[in-house]
Structure 1
Amino acid sequence: MPEEQPKIAKKSPYAVQVEGGKNYVWCACGHSDNQPFCDGSHKGTGFSPVKYTAEKTEWVWFCGCKRTGSPPMCDGTHKTLD
């Protein structure tokens, strides 16, 4: 049986200005209405959100396709999707 895939929220990353020292919780299932962040929609899906702590205030790119090899950051995987 194939492993369940997360829902693709969008086929590009989310650019977010994060604040140094602040925690963010990235949606891994793709069902959150608060993309790219978790709103609890993963309950019952088998997916768990990923905690990200910003080291400094800067712009980062959170994965939107939910297929990244380096969660929660975009690694360009969305460019390979149909």
Structure 2
Amino acid sequence: MDKPVIAQKAPIPVELKKGETYYYCTCGRSSNQPFCNGSHKGTSFEAMAFTAEKDGTAYLCACKHTGNPPYCDGTHDKLKEE
């Protein structure tokens, strides 16, 4: 299985709209972080669709190792430099 690329070791704040569907990048290769742009093609990764539960700022994971995707859970603080 492929390992995700660590896009950055900090969450990305984004404005979400309640009821809208978004496609979160799980591979870390997207140039449109934290959202998918299709860069996972040829890997074992797929975009993760999620629907915003409320309007407002959400902090989405950019290290791609969170235990609560697509949201940051602080895992980036525990990752070793690669």
* Band the TM-score falls in, shorter-chain normalisation: over 0.9
Instruction: Return structure 1 stretches of 4+ with deviation > 2 angstroms.
Output: none
| Equivalent position of 1:20 in the other structure | 18
- Aligned pairs for 1:1-82 (under 5 A) are 3-82=1-80
Unaligned runs of at least 5 residues, structure 2: none
Q: Percent identity?
A: 51
Q: Normalization by structure 2: what TM-score? A: 0.92
CA distance in structure 2 between the aligned counterparts of 1:6 and 1:15, rounded to whole angstroms: 20
Q: How many residue pairs get matched?
A: 80
**1:13-58 deviation digits (Å, cap 9, x = unpaired):** 0111101111110000000010000000001110111111012211
Normalising by structure 1, what TM-score? 0.92
Q: Secondary structure at the match of 1:16?
A: strand
State the 1:4 CA deviation: 2.5
C-alpha separation in 1, matches of 2:5 and 2:12:
15
Instruction: Report which stretch shifted further, 26-35 or 43-52.
Output: 43-52
| Offset at residue 11 of structure 1 (A) | 0.3
